[in-house]
Amino acid sequence: MIIYETPDTTELDALTVVAHPDDAEIGMGGTIALLVDRGYRVGILDLTRGEMASRGTPEQRLEESRTASKTLGIAVRLNMGLPDGFLQPEATARLELVRVLRSYRPLFIFTHHLRDPHPDHTAAYQLVRQAAHNAGLGKLDEGLPPFRPKYLFTFGMPHRWQPSFLVDVSQYWEQKIAAVRCFHSQVSPLRPGEPETYLGDPGFLDSLDAQSRSYGSLVGVTHAEYFHTEIMLLVADPIEAFKPKRGRFL
């Protein structure tokens, strides 16, 4: 299902595939804003409509996704409508993702880290990993030419793993939080009688801020988002790539 699409949407440079509407904004909204600002065409694919969430309805989440997409300036937002809470990397879902990858042809894919504690997030990683491979199989005929993304980067819950690289999102932090706040149904303060949720906790946005500032402090910037990858990263110019913003590193 296409939630949001700019009129000139054709191919994408990067696609973020996540389990729930709001995961992309929370996990890497700053990096998405940065990439869009640099002229790259970025998309978000939500695998489920978040219908199992304690607060909000799937319809609200779809509307919130549309507003958040505009806030970040992305080119396309899709929702696959897979079962929230029961996400599985099964064949039908994999083929549907193959068709998305072959249609939008993003060289860069972002998704949840494999060791994320939420089972839907783990399933999303497996689904992405498998579909990215399948999309490149010449003999798999889905009516679209084969295409295989080149890079898979993952995010979320960094205390469970060591980031491979950090992105300076200081300039885009407010835009990220504005996008996260579009999901009123999830992050608005709990009303009396509502069930307690992780995102509805009054300290949630503070903890997001603290985590990003903490990583930023390691590389001399105000806010950083953190990513993991299994592949070797090649840089053309190590001094340009790693020159510190401020602070000490030894």
Residue from 3, 12, 15, 23 touching Zn ion (CB under 5 A): that is 23
- Asked if residue 19 binds Zn ion (CB under 5 A), the reply is yes
Neighbours of 244 (CB within 10 A): 10
Buried b / exposed e across 157-192, counting CB within 10 Å, b at 16+? bbeeeebeebbbbbebbebbbbbbbbbebbbeeeee
Nearest-angstrom CA–CA distance, 243 and 124: 35
Shortest spacing between CB 97 and Zn ion, in angstroms: 17
3-state secondary structure of 245: coil
Nearest residue (CB) to Zn ion, 74 versus 221: 74
Which of the ranges 15-23, 28-36, 103-111, 170-178 carries the binding residues for Zn ion, by CB under 5 A? 15-23
- Burial classification of residue 144, based on how many CB atoms lie within 10 Å of its CB (0-12 exposed, 13-18 middle, 19 or more buried): middle
Question: Quick one: tokens of 164?
Answer: 């491979």
- Asked if residue 20 binds Zn ion (CB under 5 A), the reply is yes
Shortest spacing between CB 156 and Zn ion, in angstroms: 9
Nearest residue (CB) to Zn ion, 49 versus 94: 49
Which of the ranges 19-27, 147-155, 217-225, 242-250 carries the binding residues for Zn ion, by CB under 5 A? 19-27
Nearest residue (CB) to Zn ion, 20 versus 113: 20
Task: Give the interface with Zn ion as residue ranges (CB under 5 A).
Answer: 19-20, 23
